[in-house]
Amino acid sequence: MSELKIIAHIITDFDEKFGVPRQSGLCSAKGRIIFEPEYRSPDALKGIEEFDYLWIIWGFEGVESDTFKATVRPPRLGGNETRGVFATRSPFRPNPLGLSSVKYEGLEVTENGLTVLVSGVDMRNNTPIYDIKPYLPYVDSHPEASNGFAGEHRSENLKVEMSRELLKLIPNDKRDTLIEVLEQDPRPHYQDDPEREYGLSFAGLNIKFKVSESILKVTRVE
Amino acid sequence: MSELKIIAHIITDFDEKFGVPRQSGLCSAKGRIIFEPEYRSPDALKGIEEFDYLWIIWGFEGVESDTFKATVRPPRLGGNETRGVFATRSPFRPNPLGLSSVKYEGLEVTENGLTVLVSGVDMRNNTPIYDIKPYLPYVDSHPEASNGFAGEHRSENLKVEMSRELLKLIPNDKRDTLIEVLEQDPRPHYQDDPEREYGLSFAGLNIKFKVSESILKVTRVE
């Protein structure tokens, strides 16, 4: 095999790369998997409800390169240290495949056929999907394993401040996820300018905010 | 992206499909990852020793099909029941990508450059590899998740009988793994003929055996 087939796309609230959670499972963000017409068969999902989690193998977009770069600079290490690409989950890799374990939340019939609802997504809206597999804890779960540099450098959550007026502009069922996304500090790790206003595209809204010390203050919702 | 690049191949003791463990981590079988010349850079592995497990995304071979089959018959369910392909880890899927978490066992310089040693492999010898990522337990490990049908139908291990004379024909460092592979019953689940002699290709040897009740008896080593 060399030619990958797109079997589905996932609809999420992240229209831009900025703000997408760094890994799967870090917040409650929802996603809906819509199959391409030729893979749109309810039979293909028979028994999927037996599982709590699913693996999604998907494609990073906008990261393709003709040359192989052996090292990357993980944001978690401040952007200064290098690591081998195969020692990171960076999108800049020979085959830009993403791997996410998401929570299975059910099936729903839509005008696009039977769709799969999931949560804990770390994918941009409309990301192409190449495979879906059940998560099997008896072989996939290694809780005692080392997190490597990703463990040593986990960042503290920010405290999110948002006025009641601004919060009202966010749909009810999106509020918790938005707060979680902001708490996790979507800024590049090496940026720390309290005057800078950032813009996060989320659920069709533009959320403007500033960060000072460990407090993130939402300034506008557009 | 649609064209996958083979970045490496993995050398294992399983020359044929028969006998390959059903999933990763089920036995101590070793593997050596040899990179293709254009990805053969020690830099690409910098920091990989920080991790205990690695993900390998690899290619199932000999399973390609032009038509989409929505259901498969998992061996674990006896070969009679169907499940949707996305509710199984079957190789017969739109993109025949395998996903394995293997234990990182170190690096070794060879005439083929720097190679990665791993254990717990479930791949045939010379399987093409598309990606290697560090296993991150803080996002990848869900020990509480359901195993679905794979949990309800786990088979009991067989008791392996092998004479001292036959055992001597197996290289010392391969014996434990061979016993583990046999204990896990490599037969298709729906076969139960005590007279039938099976042949397992392992580490360049042909291991002949018969199974009666829960006892597997090695009959010849060639």
Compute the distance between CA of residue B109 and CA of residue A166 in angstroms, rounded to an integer: 58
Q: How many CB atoms are closer than 10 A to CB A61?
A: 16
Give the one of A46, A94, A143 whose C-beta lies nearest to B39's C-beta.
A94
Is some CB atom of chain B closer than 8 A to the CB atom of A92?
A: no
* Distance in Å, alpha carbon of B135 to nearest chain A alpha carbon: 7
The per-residue pLDDT for range A2-59, each reduced to its tens digit, is 689 999 999 999 999 999 998 999 899 999 999 999 999 999 999 999 999 999 999 9
Cross-chain CB nearest to B148 (options A4, A43, A51):
A51
Please give the pLDDT value at position A153: 61
pLDDT of residue B203: 96
What mean pLDDT is predicted for residues A50-76? 93
Tell me the chain A residues in contact with residue B149 when contact means C-beta distances shorter than 8 Å: 47, 50
Pairing of strands B83-84, B113-119: unpaired
What mean pLDDT value characterizes chain A? Answer: 94
Residues above pLDDT 70, as percent of chain A? 97
pLDDT value for A191: 73
- How close is the nearest chain A Cα to the Cα of B190, in Å? 21
More confident residue, A1 or A33: A33
Q: What is the ipTM of this complex?
A: 0.94
Q: How far is B68 from chain A (nearest CA, A)?
A: 7
Size of interface A-B (CB pairs under 8 A): 240
- C-alpha distances in Å from residue A118, one per residue of A20, A122, A161, A213: 15, 11, 28, 34
Q: Over 90: is that where the pLDDT of A155 sits?
A: no
Q: Do A7 and B94 touch (CB under 8 A)?
A: yes
A214-218: list long-range contacts, CB under 8 Å, 24+ apart: A214/A156, A214/A158, A214/A159, A215/A158, A215/A159, A215/A161, A216/A158, A216/A159, A216/A160, A216/A161, A216/A182, A216/A183, A216/A185, A217/A161, A217/A162, A218/A160, A218/A161, A218/A162, A218/A163, A218/A166, A218/A182
Distance from CA of B163 to the nearest CA of A (A): 32
The share of chain A scoring above pLDDT 90, in percent, equals: 84
Neighbours of B155 (CB within 10 A): 12
Residues of A within 8 A of B7 (CB-CB) are 94-95
Binary contact (A142, B52; C-beta < 8 A): yes
**Chain A contact for B113 (CB, 8 A cutoff):** no
B196: which residues sit within 8 A by CB, 6+ positions away? B210
- Dihedral sign, Cα of residue A136, residue B5, residue A121, residue B86: negative
Q: What is the pLDDT of residues B64-75, one digit of tens each?
A: 888 999 999 998
Taking the Cβ of residue B92 and every Cβ of chain A, the question of whether any pair is shorter than 8 Å is answered with no
Q: In what order do the strands lie in the sheet with B159-161?
A: B159-161, B215-221, B205-212, B198-202
SS3 for A108?
Answer: strand
Nearest residue of A to residue B2 by CA position? Answer: A4
Pick from B133, B135, B147: CB nearest A136: B147
The reported pLDDT for the residue numbered A79 is 83
The per-residue pLDDT for range B91-143, each reduced to its tens digit, is 999 999 999 999 999 999 999 999 999 999 999 999 999 999 999 999 999 99
Name the β-bridge partners of B34. Answer: B9
Output the CA–CA distances (angstroms, integers) from residue A56 to A59, A184, B23, in the order listed.
Answer: 10, 22, 17
Predicted confidence band of residue A65 (pLDDT cuts 50, 70, 90): confident
Low-confidence ranges of chain B (pLDDT < 70): 1-2, 152-155, 190
Interface of B with A in 125-184 (CB under 8 A): 130-151, 154
Is there a contact between A140 and B142 if contact means CB atoms under 8 Å apart? yes
pLDDT at A1 over 60: no
- CA B107, CA A17: separation in Å to the nearest integer? 34
Please provide the average confidence, as pLDDT, over all residues in chain B.
94
Does position A154 have pLDDT exceeding 70, yes or no?
no
DSSP state of B120: S
- pLDDT, residue A136, reads 97
Cβ contact A82–B46 (<8 Å): yes
| pLDDT for the residue A66 | 83
